[in-house]
Amino acid sequence: MARARHAEIAGAGFAGLAAAAALCRRGWTVRVHEADRELRAFGAGIFIWSNGLRVLNALGAYADVRAGAFAAPAYETRTDGETLAFEPINGPNRYRLLTMTRQHLHAAMVKAARAAGAELVTGSEAVGAAPEGELHLADGTRLEADIVIGADGVRSKVRDSLGIPQERRKYQDGIIRVLTDRTGLKGGEWDHVIDFWCHRPRTLRILYTPSGENDLYMAMMAPVADKEASAIPVNPAPWIDCFPQLAPALSRLGDRGRYDAYETTRLPTWSAGRVAIVGDSAHAMPPTLAQGAGCAMMNALGLAVALDETHTVEEALRLWEARERPLTDHTQRRAAEIAASRVLASGMKWDDEGLRAARHVPTGADMPLDDR
- Residue number, 190 or 259, with CB nearest to ligand 3HM: 259
- Residue 279 interacts with ligand FAD (CB under 6 A)? yes
DSSP 71: -
- Which 3-state string (H, E, C) describes 187-254? CHHHHCEEEEEECCCCCEEEEEEECCCCEEEEEEEEECCCCCCCCCCCCHHHHHHHCHHHHHHHCCCC
- Residue 175 interacts with ligand 3HM (CB under 6 A)? yes
Q: Which stretch binds ligand FAD (CB under 6 A): 7-15, 180-188, 227-235, 329-337?
A: 7-15
The end-to-end CA distance of the chain, in Å, is 41
Q: Is 141 helix (H, G, I), strand (E, B) or coil?
A: coil
**Quick one: which of 181, 201, 179 has its CA closest to 80?**
201
Binding-residue pattern over the window 216 to 245 for ligand 3HM, x denoting contact by CB under 6 A: ---x-x------------------------
- Residue number, 151 or 221, with CB nearest to ligand 3HM: 221
User: Please, what is the minimum distance in Å from the beta carbon of residue 3 to ligand FAD?
Assistant: 26
Q: Which residues 27-86 are close enough to bind ligand 3HM by CB under 6 A?
A: 47
Q: Which residues of 46-74 are buried (b: 16+ CB within 10 A; e: fewer)?
A: bbbbbbbbbbbbbbbbbebbbebbbbbeb
User: Please, what is the minimum distance in Å from the beta carbon of residue 315 to ligand 3HM?
Assistant: 36
- Residue 197 interacts with ligand 3HM (CB under 6 A)? no
- Residue number, 263 or 308, with CB nearest to ligand FAD: 263
- Residue number, 35 or 336, with CB nearest to ligand FAD: 35
The conformational region for residue 235 under phi > 0 = left, psi -120 to 50 = alpha, else beta, is beta
- Residue number, 4 or 89, with CB nearest to ligand FAD: 89
Q: In this chain, which of 8, 14, 25, 66 binds ligand FAD, going by CB under 6 A? A: 14
- Residue 207 interacts with ligand 3HM (CB under 6 A)? yes
Q: In this chain, which of 8, 34, 146, 324 binds ligand FAD, going by CB under 6 A? A: 34
The number of beta carbons lying within 10 Å of the beta carbon of residue 255 is: 7
**Quick one: which of 271, 265, 360 has its CA closest to 321?**
271
Interacting partner of 288 out of ligand 3HM, ligand FAD, none (Cβ under 5 to 8 A depending on kind): ligand 3HM
Q: Rounded to whole angstroms, what are the CA distances from 32 to 44, 126, 150, 211, 229?
A: 23, 10, 10, 28, 38
Q: Which residues 153-182 are close enough to bind ligand FAD by CB under 6 A?
A: 153, 157, 175, 177
Ramachandran angles phi, psi of 226, nearest 5°: -90, 90
Q: Which residues 247-266 are close enough to bind ligand FAD by CB under 6 A?
A: 260
Question: Hey, CA dihedral for 11, 14, 19, 20, is it positive or negative?
Answer: positive
Q: Rounded to whole angstroms, what are the CA distances from 147 to 27, 59, 174?
A: 14, 20, 35
Q: In this chain, which of 13, 210, 362, 364 binds ligand FAD, going by CB under 6 A? A: 13
User: Please, what is the minimum distance in Å from the beta carbon of residue 200 to ligand FAD?
Assistant: 24
Q: Which residues 82-101 are close enough to bind ligand FAD by CB under 6 A?
A: none
- Residue 362 interacts with ligand FAD (CB under 6 A)? no
Ramachandran angles phi, psi of 151, nearest 5°: -115, 40
What does DSSP say about strands 275-277 and 271-272: parallel, antiparallel, or unpaired? antiparallel
Interacting partner of 207 out of ligand FAD, ligand 3HM, none (Cβ under 5 to 8 A depending on kind): ligand 3HM
Residues near ligand 3HM (CB under 6 A) are 47, 175, 207, 219, 221, 287-288, 290
